[in-house]
Amino acid sequence: MEDEFAFISSVAPKETLQNRLKVGIGDDAAVYVGKSDSDEVVCVDTMVEGIHFRRDTLTPFQIGRKALAINVSDLAAMGANPAFYLVSLAIPPTWKNEELTELYRGMNELAAELGMDLIGGDTTAANESLVITITAIGTVRRDQALRRSNAKAGDIVFVTGELGASAAGLELLLERTRSGTFSEEEKAVIKKHQEPEGQVQAGRVMAERGCRIALNDISDGLASEAIELAEASEKTMILKEEWLPLIPSHGLPFSYRQRVDFALNGGEDFQLVGTMGREDYEQLKAVGKRSGLSFLEIGYVEEGPAAVYLWTREEKRRLDKAGYNHFRRG
């Protein structure tokens, strides 16, 4: 990229979706009107080329879309309604202008679906790897944000959908790259890896109910995220292996063991995992059915030290945070 200023004006949105935005891109900072009946929810996440994504498994469009989706998933896990985002880029010489345009087209596609405005960012050079950092901002009704620390003994544990597809898709991509040949079933899991959705609607439906819910999003695998809930709530959680919503076996080259491992340790599914009382859960399931959302029971909460156990047909075993950890290599 030659001209930073031309680049910024090329990515600046021509129109806005949030009517409370007063100053967007082009000044020293963005300004939007605060809401009196809401709490603001803010999160930030970074993706580094070679660590979080590779250009032979994701297109520039998909990298942009996914960088925003990761943040949207964090907002969803608080029950928030997404509103704004800011993008900080460190750009190496290996990235062409057209590819950067594609990156923004990917972000913009998801942002338009969710009514989010791009309101600022920062642009700098990098040596070798693209680094993309997105800050996302949303709102939730006053005091209704869904915290991890809300689990109580007797709660059921639920997830909002299928687990393990993203890890299965990544496995196929690492084997054959994105220019490889794939069956229809393989294409389906690859798409889940490349273009994850984030469960904004499910998060909002839960926050709006106003009942006690502990919630977390699944970015590092169910095991690690459930342990975070157990730790924040200081409770024991029991998951039933036979209740896990695994990816189908048909048309995919993965054993039952692998599909369980993808669900527990694969990560990047961007479903939500949470706990709530049985009665609230039955009502939520009914609401979900009407709006096309699923809330699937996978276990329960007990009084006891912070830990998560998996009941299989043979044994009860303690789960650890075996998901992807960037500082634990090899």
Q: Which is nearer to Mg ion, 4 or 234 (CB)?
A: 4
Dihedral Cα 274, 293, 73, 107, nearest 10 deg: 180
284 binds, among ligand ADP, Mg ion, none (CB under 5 to 8 A by kind): none
123 binds, among ligand ADP, Mg ion, none (CB under 5 to 8 A by kind): ligand ADP
Task: Compute CA distances 110 → 71, 196, 200, 216, 219, whole Å.
Answer: 11, 10, 12, 21, 18
CB of 80 to ligand ADP, least distance (A): 21
56 contacts Mg ion (rule: CB under 5 A): no
320 contacts Mg ion (rule: CB under 5 A): no
Q: Which is nearer to Mg ion, 27 or 122 (CB)?
A: 122
Sheet of strand 272-276, all strands in order from the earlier edge strand to the far edge: 213-217, 272-276, 156-159, 296-302, 236-240, 307-311, 316-318
CB of 23 to Mg ion, least distance (A): 15
CB of 89 to Mg ion, least distance (A): 11
For the stretch 171-175, contacts whose Cβ atoms lie closer than 8 Å and that sit 24 or more positions apart, written own/partner, are 171/254, 171/262, 173/56, 173/57, 174/57
4 contacts Mg ion (rule: CB under 5 A): no
If DSSP codes are grouped into helix, strand and coil, which group holds residue 191?
Answer: helix
CB of 15 to ligand ADP, least distance (A): 15
Q: Of 54-62, 122-130, 240-248, 268-276, which segment contacts Mg ion by CB under 5 A?
A: 122-130
CB of 183 to ligand ADP, least distance (A): 38
Matching residue, tokens 């499910």: 202
CB of 86 to ligand ADP, least distance (A): 7
Fill in the amino acid letter for 126: A
Q: Of 50-58, 115-123, 165-173, 183-191, which segment contacts Mg ion by CB under 5 A?
A: 115-123
Answer positive or negative: Cα dihedral of 276, 149, 110, 61: negative
Interface residues with ligand ADP (CB under 6 A) are 8, 11, 25-28, 87, 89, 118, 120-123
Answer whether 98's CB lies under 8 Å from 58's CB: no
User: In the set 3, 4, 27, 122, which binds Mg ion (CB under 5 A)?
Assistant: 122
Q: Which two tokens stand for residue 271?
A: 């479903």
Q: Which is nearer to ligand ADP, 11 or 114 (CB)?
A: 11
Interface contacts to Mg ion, rule CB under 5 A: 122
